[in-house]
Structures are given as C-alpha cells and as structure tokens.
Amino acid sequence: MFSLKNKTAIVTGGGSGIGKAIAKLFAKQEATVYILDFDEAGAAQTVTEITTDGGKAQSYKCDVSNQAQVKEIIDSIANSAGNIDILINNAGVAHVGNAENTSEEDFTRLFNVNVKGVYNCLHAALPYLKLNGGSILNMASIASAVGIPDRFAYSMTKGAVVGMTLSTAKDYIAFNVRCNCISPARVHTPFVDGFLAKNYPGKEKEMFEKLSKGQPIGRMAEPTDIAFLVLYLCSDEASFITGCDYPIDGGFIKLNN
C-alpha cells in the first residue's frame, strides 16, 4: 500500500522540516523526488540522506516567488523525467505580527513566497500533470480556519492557499488531477527552535513545553506526522479524494475550548 513506484514528485521547501520529511518518505516509497529549495545546502543534504538510503532524488536551488525560474526548473524536470505525477507546494515563510505592526515589506514577502510561490508552481506544473493525471498537495495551516494571535500576514497567505486548492481541484477534475491541502497546527521544525532561541534565550525548554501544551493532544506534531498524511493523499489509495482541506492539529480546532 501507498507505493509511489515509478512516480515523479516535486517537493518545494524540501531542505528542512516538513518538506524534508515528505521528500524522504516519498523516496522510501520509491518515488523519484525533485527538491526545490532556496536553501541549496539544506536541499543537497536531503538528497544525500535519500540517496545514501538507496532512494532517488535531485535538488535545485529555487526561489518559488520567481516565476521564470520556477518554470525553467519544472520544464527541465518534466523533460528529463518524462512526466510529473505529484506536486507538493510546501515552501513557505512565517511571520509574527498583527495588522498594525506588520510592515508592507513583510506583508509582500509573505505573499510572494506563500501565495505567489504556490501559484507559480501550479502554473508551471499543471500542463504536465494534466497529461496523465496526478496529485497536488498544498500546505495550508490551521491559521486559515481559526484566529491565532499575531499571525495576520501568515493567516492571509494560508487562507489564500485553501482558496487556490479548491479552485484548482474544480478546474482540473476532468483531467484526473486531484488537489488537496492540509492544515497543520504547530509542528516542531527548525523554525520553532530558532524562534525560541531568538525570543526566549535561556528559557527555550520552558517555552517549548508551554507551546506543546497549547495543543490539546499535549505535544507538537513531528514533521513525520505531517508527511504520513501527505503520502496518503498523494497515493493511489486516495484516488477518490479531491478539493479537501484536512486539519492535522492534535485536536486544536475542535477541542481547544
């Protein structure tokens, strides 16, 4: 079950965190994985870990907000691989701030990566995906469904991701292209560790526990928790699922009263 043998998968932001977990799991399930990441070293490290374990992967340095660059890379992947079966729009940036203290520069930066970046990858990959059918998974967030303090610009971008997911699912269903998104709650990634080190020096462990207990289930998600759901939604076993947003939140939305 959940085999990705003979599948070609593109994973943006595969150099760390959730994207890295997805790329490694897909390779384990025998997909050929192409990693697009602005962090060239991180992407190369993911490829090394995959190939050392017997998997197939390749990385490209890519700024997903640059449409010409995205198109050039995805065209190259399609030409060399012969097909594109799976697109994972995972690359994203975060920001802490409300509508008053979020600068125009930060607002634009988040829009360019989190919204335009998803559009750019869809725009470039869909001509190939619709040839033989395929699966798209966009990374949204619980911030698109509930109010979270000081996440104004981030919430804006993730709401847009959900909207793009539904629209794409509707427009390409006749081509046997499925498009879903998932909405994680807090995930223990390098971003979390960096945030704690920057804002709570000397109190990282205490604040980590506090943030973890903010999830009703009592812990943060691990990147592999997210990757397993992504694998299911992109596998043939999920062939009847499209146009859905799946919370993966440790009970945050429904149980956090």
Q: What residues form DSSP beta bridges with 86? A: 9, 135
The series of mean pLDDT values per 10 residues for the chain, 257 residues long, is 97 97 98 98 98 98 98 98 97 95 98 98 98 98 94 98 98 98 94 86 91 90 97 98 97 85
154 catalytic, yes or no? yes
pLDDT of residue 88: 98
Catalytic-role residue among 60, 119, 128, 154: 154
Domain ranges in the chain are 8-185+222-248, 187-220
Q: Report the DSSP pairing between strands 56-61 and 86-89.
A: unpaired
Question: For residue 240, with 0-12 CB atoms within 10 Å meaning exposed, 13-18 middle and 19 or more buried, which class applies?
Answer: exposed
When the candidates are 3.40.720.10, 3.40.50.720, 3.40.50.300, 1.10.3720.10, the CATH number that belongs to 8-185+222-248 is: 3.40.50.720
- pTM of the predicted model as reported, rounded to 2 decimal places: 0.95
Crossing angle (nearest 10°) for helices 190-199 and 204-212? 130
Residue 37 C-beta-side C-alpha neighbours within 13 Å: 25
**pLDDT for position 172:** 98
